[in-house]
Structure 1
Amino acid sequence: MTQESAIPEILVEHSGPISWIVFNRPAQANALSGSMLDSFSAALDELKTSGGPVVGIRANGKGFCAGMDLGQYGGAAAMDPVADANRLNANVARWLAMWDHPKPVIAAVHGYCAGVGAQMCVFADLTIVADDVRISEPGVPIGGGFIAPTWVAQVGAKRAKEFAFLPGNSIDGPAAVEWGWANHCVPAERLITATEALAARIALVPPNVLQVKKLSINRAAEAAGFRTATSGIAEMDSLLHLAPSVLAIRERMANEGLKAVLDAYRGPSSTALINSFKE
């Protein structure tokens, strides 16, 4: 057994009223592997009937999550579009399990939060970010219509498009709060204590009351189209995965390495780019 496989990729830690699901793959920037996603789902399911009245999600290491582990998806080999859509739908179902969870779910986000990592936070009930956070679009445009549509309910269509159209585009903590993606931005060193203090206040409400409050608000969001917006994103993404232009990028990733391809698309965020014309 290798050292990496011997270390749990997901930890469950209990701290008073909050039970933390902790991403624990820091050497890989907490990039989401298939096994890590399965462990996340298992932990979330376990906490339905055990642990504290509030569920928290955080990460060990320098950042929250670098998105999907692209090392698992390099190359330009032929893909089965049905299998690809099924895989993506399974990941959407993992996030909807947060949305449908009987307990309030709080994401505490620091450092980097990229791609699917930024998508999953949309499904948390509350998101608290550190002042060192960068929430970013995937750095390589090999998918489409999977992440940004889930943002629309919180930030609006124009901001979702601004976020999505630039490879690697990013926003910081204050912008995340201004846009409506996050609830609060706090100093990085106080992220966990602030989140735990919020959880302690929430836990004063009886669990069954919290459950019904959450369900009621979710139904209001779903009446406005939140769940419907997630229903077709896997098919859109799997369709684009077969586009010749995307297959060419995947081939570059296989031949040149991920870093070289990321560097080719690297540039300023949309905010930084526009601000450069205001000076």
Structure 2
Amino acid sequence: MTATSTENRYQNLRIEHNGPVSWIVLDRPGSANALSNELLDEFSDALDALATGGGPIVGIRGAGKGFSAGYDIGQVGKVVSVPDPVADRERLARNVNRYLAIWDHPKPVIAAVHGYCIAGATQMCVFADITLVAEDARIGEPAIPLGGGYIAPLWAPLVGPKRAKELAFVPGNAIDGTTAVEWGWANHAVPEKDLVSVTEDLAARMARTPSDILRIKKLSINKSMEAMGVRTAAQGGAEMDALLHLSPSVAEVRAFVAEVGLKAAVAAYRTPLATPEQSRKDAP
């Protein structure tokens, strides 16, 4: 068995090297691995460092009970007295570019999802080259409708427009890991206890292909997707979301969250799993 070494130079994530895979581990378990600005800055730095260091395969996973609950609502959901659409658009575009760096990374990137993967966290996985999920993982939309045109469009090339809309139109809508594979959002669903070992086994088999060959295989497949407009659509989401953030409806939702608190607001919008498959399972 290959020994694992860990780098602790970050505050919000850690790097673990285990044989051919170097893991970026989102490490804010007390905050559901929420994607704060600080964590995202560290993520970009780590991804850049692993372009030339570490193993031939990069993995992404979350510490604690889940992958990530999405963007830190304390930073992105607060009431703004004077909206700045230009700054908002730049922030949103910067985040998309962080995930496009996964897409453009010279090494294959595997995301391993357990527990929950919500909202902005799904963007990481969409741009990963391969995604493995726990069978009972919960993968879905933001629990509170604070934006639009930023997350679901990135799902559309994987699951199709109708399923992307089905996820997007219901606050907090989600699918489990098994459904994520059926829909094409993920590659494989496995029991949670096996997720890391299965991912590392896949990474080891991938690493048998020389790195330069992996690089060109990844690049060629990405180019075929970009010919269909995937990159353009991803980058266009920043404008759509920044525009919606100026709407009276979003201002009302922000004020509601500020008034009742995050937990109460989430509870107010919470719905059960809303896929037809789940509805049939729940029917008497």
**TM-score of the superposed pair, with normalisation by structure 2:** 0.94
User: 2:114·2:192 contact (CA, 8 Å) conserved in 1?
Assistant: yes
TM-aligned CA deviation for residue 7 of structure 1: 7.5
The CA deviation at 1:76 is: 4.2
Q: Within 2, Cα distance between the matches of 1:87 and 1:144?
A: 15
Provide the residue aligned with 2:164 in structure 1. Answer: 160
What do the CA deviations read for 1:21-55 (whole angstroms, capped 9, x no partner)? 00000000000000000000000000000000000
Q: Secondary structure at the match of 1:231?
A: helix
Query: Which of 229, 232, 236 is residue 228 of structure 1 equivalent to?
Result: 232
Q: Which amino acid in the other structure matches residue 184 of structure 2?
A: G
Alignment partner of 1:195 out of 194, 199, 203: 199
Picking from 246, 254, 257, the partner of 1:253 is 257
How many residue pairs match? The answer is: 274
Report the Cα distance in structure 2 between the residues aligned to 1:78 and 1:249, rounded to whole angstroms. 16
Secondary structure, counterpart of 2:59 in structure 1: strand
Mapping for residues 20-31 of structure 1, pairs under 5 Å: 20-31=23-34
Using the TM superposition, give the Cα deviation of residue 142 of structure 1 relative to its aligned residue in structure 2, in angstroms. Answer: 0.7
CA distance in 1, matches of 2:194, 2:111: 14
Deviation at 1:136, TM superposition (A): 1.4
How far apart are residue 72 of structure 1 and its match? 1.1
CA shift in 2, pair 1:76/1:275, >3 Å: farther
Alignment-mate amino acid for residue 221 of structure 1: M
Structure-2 separation of matches of 1:51 and 1:34: 25
CA distance in 2, matches of 1:97, 1:50: 16
Q: In the aligned structure 2, how far is the partner of 1:135 from the partner of 1:175?
A: 10
Q: Which of 201, 205, 215 is the equivalent residue of 2:209?
A: 205
Partner of 1:275: 280
- Whether the aligned pair in 2 keeps the contact of 1:17 and 1:54 (CA below 8 Å) is yes
Match of 1:56 in 2: 59
Deviation at 1:77, TM superposition (A): 2.2
Structure 2 letter corresponding to 1:179: W
Q: In 1, are the aligned partners of 2:10 and 2:42 still within 8 Å (CA)?
A: no
Over 3 Å off, 4+ runs: 276-279
Residue 3 of structure 1: aligned partner: none
Distance (whole Å) between structure 2 residues aligned to residue 36 and residue 71 of structure 1: 14
In structure 2, the partner of 1:178 is: 182
User: What is the aligned-residue identity percentage?
Assistant: 59
1:12 to 3, 12, 15: 15
- For 2:283 and 2:162, locate their aligned partners in 1 and report how far apart those are by CA, in whole Å: 21
- 2:35 maps to 1:32: yes
TM-score by length of 1: 0.95
Distance in 1, Cα, partners of 2:280 & 2:10:
44
Q: Give yes or no for contact 2:136–2:178 (8 Å, CA) kept in 1.
A: no
Q: Which runs of 5+ in 2 are unaligned?
A: 1-8
User: Distance in 2 between the 1:259 and 1:67 partners?
Assistant: 15
SS for the counterpart of 2:132 is strand
Structure 1 position 277, deviation (Å): 8.4
User: Structure 1 pair 104/145, CA: closer, same or farther in 2 (3 Å)?
Assistant: same
Aligned-partner residue type, residue 173 of structure 1? G
- Report the residue type matching 2:191 in the other structure: P
- Is the Cα–Cα contact under 8 Å of residues 18 and 54 in structure 1 kept in the other structure? yes
Q: In the alignment, what sits opposite 2:50?
A: 47
Deviates more, 1:225-234 or 1:188-197: 225-234
In the TM superposition, residue 79 of structure 1 has moved relative to its aligned partner by 1.5
User: Which shifted more, 74-83 or 20-29?
Assistant: 74-83
8 Å contact from structure 1 (residues 23, 59) kept in 2: yes
Superposed CA deviations along residues 144-191 of structure 1, whole A, max 9, x for unmatched, are 010000011110000000010000000001100000000000110010
**Structure 1 contact 76–251 (Cα < 8 Å) conserved:** no
Asked whether the equivalents of residues 150 and 237 of structure 2 are also in contact (C-alpha less than 8 Å), the reply is yes
Q: How far apart in 1 are the matches of 2:238 and 2:83?
A: 14
Partner amino acid, structure 2, of 1:260: A
Change (3 A) 1:26 1:90: same
User: Higher mean Cα deviation, 218-227 or 169-178?
Assistant: 218-227
